[in-house]
Structure formats: C-alpha cells, structure tokens
C-alpha cells in the first residue's frame, strides 16, 4: 500500500507522515514550493524533513497558475492577500495527478482542524476536497477522528483508532508527539506565507492593481528593498549590498537604475514612464538613503549604463511616507 503525503516541511505534516508510516504504509511525499514561503527558499525545509523521515520527495514549484489564482481567487483572500483555499485546491489537484502517476492509493496531509482560520475549518476543508474532486479521499491523520471516515479508513487500508483527534491552534500535543517520535529540526513548525503579512500584502495588492500580467520577476522584486509608488511608476530602493546586486540582476532593459557615486549608496530601480518628475523622485530617494552628507547630492543614472548625472536634494521623511507603498 502506497500513500502520498503533502509535506510542507512543518511539524504537522512530519507527524502525519510518522503516523501513517507506523501503520506499515509506504509513504512518498510531494512538496509545493511557493514563491511566498517565509523561509525564502520556497521549500520550507521539506527536503530535510523527508530525509529525517526516510521518505522520497518530489518538489513542484507553484508558478504562473498560482499567480493567476492570486489575482482573482474564487474563494477570496484571508486577512491580507492570502488565497489559502484556492491555493490548497491547486496543490491537491496537482497532487492527485501525481498520486495517479506513481500508483498511490490515497493522499494525506498534516492539516489540523481549526488550526488555520481560513483554510482549516470544517467548511473550508469540505470546499477544498470537493473542488479538487477528492471528496472523502483526503486523510488528515492528526484530526481524523473528528472528521468523517475517508476511503482509506473505510477500505481498511488504515486503522482509524490509531489516528488522532487534535484540533485548534495550540501546539502542545504536536510538540509532545515530536519528542515521542524523535522528530527534530523542523524549520517552520507553524508554517508561514508572506501573503499573510500586512506590509508584504500591500506590495502585492499594488502590483496587481498596476499590472495586467503577473510574472515571477515582479514577485521576486517584491521581496527586495523599499517600495514606492508615483502614479504609474514603481521605485525600488535597495537596502544593502545583496539587495543591490539582486536589483541589478533582475533589472529589465527599459528600466533605469540610480546610484550615488563615491559613497555608500543603494541601487534604485525605476519602472514605468521616464519623465522629469519620476527621474528626479528616484534620484532624490537614492540620495536620501545614501551615505552622502551633502545637502544636494550628485546621482548617476541610466538604463544599460549609469552614464547620466543629476544634482538633487534629498526627499524629506513626510514626502517619502506619502510615496511608500503601505
């Protein structure tokens, strides 16, 4: 008997794998790497957990299909810009196809009833299962005894009595089980998605409002620097050497970059129309966040090369606050 686990890399999914393996079932796992994962790598440590649990792991990256959901989720957003229900439906739909390919008899996850306010209450679980055409087929070992019997239990593939009845947001039972099963070094014990964070969600909302087509490059840029909006223009100011390097790497051919020469300076990226106002604003922001002590600062800028200069005064904090995406 083979079962496919949706392995997030968090504690709950690791415990679910352990519970199913203890019933003699061959477990293989799939991880869906999100560009919005808080760990910054998109896998949340799933590879390490799979190695610790001695199971094979297949990783899929959520790409353009997820970005389309992000723009207009059928079941809406959570508190910020997190389309949790639609995201889960997408993952289960992909997992179902992979399960069929490898001959897995059923799917299971580490979801806990009522642990997440948007996607793990009873109604949401029913919606997800129905929309993914997996109603009655997804086992949730940590809360199984609080939920209707699944096909795996009815068929006798797994014993319901050996499954659990955990519910709510407390992590006490899970931590106790982790000690019992000797599960250690789980990097995201409660999971994490940038879309649930207010400041990051504001950047996503602004991006959707000003771009018809979302691309992965724009998503990557959301994670870098300070973000400002001037009408149709986006201005991104790097915060350190690493972000400066990444901005230069992600720069498009028609975008301008700015830098203050001969002192510590951010790289600033200007997207959108190149008018006198937008160039001056991007330059003034660059000067403001540079190490220059002068009242007026020389800023270099250009597209392929920074071969032009402008002398500009730094923006004051009030004007900066008015431009900041928030």
Residues written for the chain: 326
CA torsion through residues 207, 210, 216, 222, sign: negative
- pLDDT score at 311: 97
Which whole-number Å values give the CA distances from 86 to 2, 58, 76, 117, 127, in the listed order?
27, 21, 8, 14, 10
Q: What is the mean pLDDT of residues 62-68?
A: 93
CA distance 285 to 268: 8
Element (H, E) at 59: strand 56-61
DSSP class of residue 252?
-
CATH number of the structural domain 2-194: 3.40.50.620
Weakest-pLDDT range from 115-124, 184-193, 258-267 = 184-193
Q: CA-CA distance, 255 to 245, in Å (whole number)?
A: 15
Q: Return the domain boundaries, the chain.
A: 2-194, 224-323
Model confidence pLDDT, tens digit, residues 203-235? 999 999 999 889 999 999 999 999 999 999 999
Residue 38: per-residue pLDDT = 78
pTM for the structure as a whole: 0.90
């Amino acid at each position: 008997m083979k079962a496919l686990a949706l392995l997030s890399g968090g504690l709950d999914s690791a415990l679910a794998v352990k519970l199913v393996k203890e019933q003699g079932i061959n477990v293989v796992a799939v991880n869906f790497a999100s560009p919005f994962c808080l760990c910054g790598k998109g896998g949340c440590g799933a590879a390490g957990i799979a190695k610790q649990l001695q199971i094979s792991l297949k990783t899929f990256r959520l790409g353009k299909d997820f970005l389309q959901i992000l723009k207009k989720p059928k079941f809406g957003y959570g508190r910020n810009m997190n389309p949790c229900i639609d995201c889960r439906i997408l993952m289960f739909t992909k997992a179902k196809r992979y399960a069929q390919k490898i001959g897995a008899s059923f799917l299971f996850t580490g979801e806990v009833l009522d642990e997440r306010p948007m996607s793990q209450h009873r109604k949401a679980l029913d919606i997800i299962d129905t929309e993914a055409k997996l109603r009655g087929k997804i086992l949730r070992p940590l809360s199984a005894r609080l939920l209707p019997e699944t096909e795996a239990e009815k068929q006798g593939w797994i014993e319901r009595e050996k499954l659990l009845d955990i519910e709510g947001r407390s992590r006490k039972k899970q931590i106790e089980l982790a000690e019992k099963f000797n599960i250690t070094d789980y990097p995201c014990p409660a999971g994490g998605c940038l879309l649930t964070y207010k400041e990051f969600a504001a950047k996503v909302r602004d991006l959707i409002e000003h771009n018809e087509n979302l691309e992965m490059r724009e998503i990557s840029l959301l994670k870098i620097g300070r973000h400002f909006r001037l009408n149709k223009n986006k201005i991104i100011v790097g915060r350190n050497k690493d972000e400066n390097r990444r901005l230069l790497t992600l720069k498009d051919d028609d975008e301008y970059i700015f830098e203050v020469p001969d002192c510590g300076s951010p790289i600033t990226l200007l997207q959108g129309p190149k008018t006198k106002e937008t160039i001056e604003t991007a330059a003034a922001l660059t000067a403001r966040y540079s190490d220059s002590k002068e009242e007026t600062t020389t800023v270099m800028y250009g597209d392929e090369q920074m071969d032009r200069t402008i002398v500009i005064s730094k923006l004051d904090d009030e004007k900066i606050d008015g431009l900041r995406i928030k």
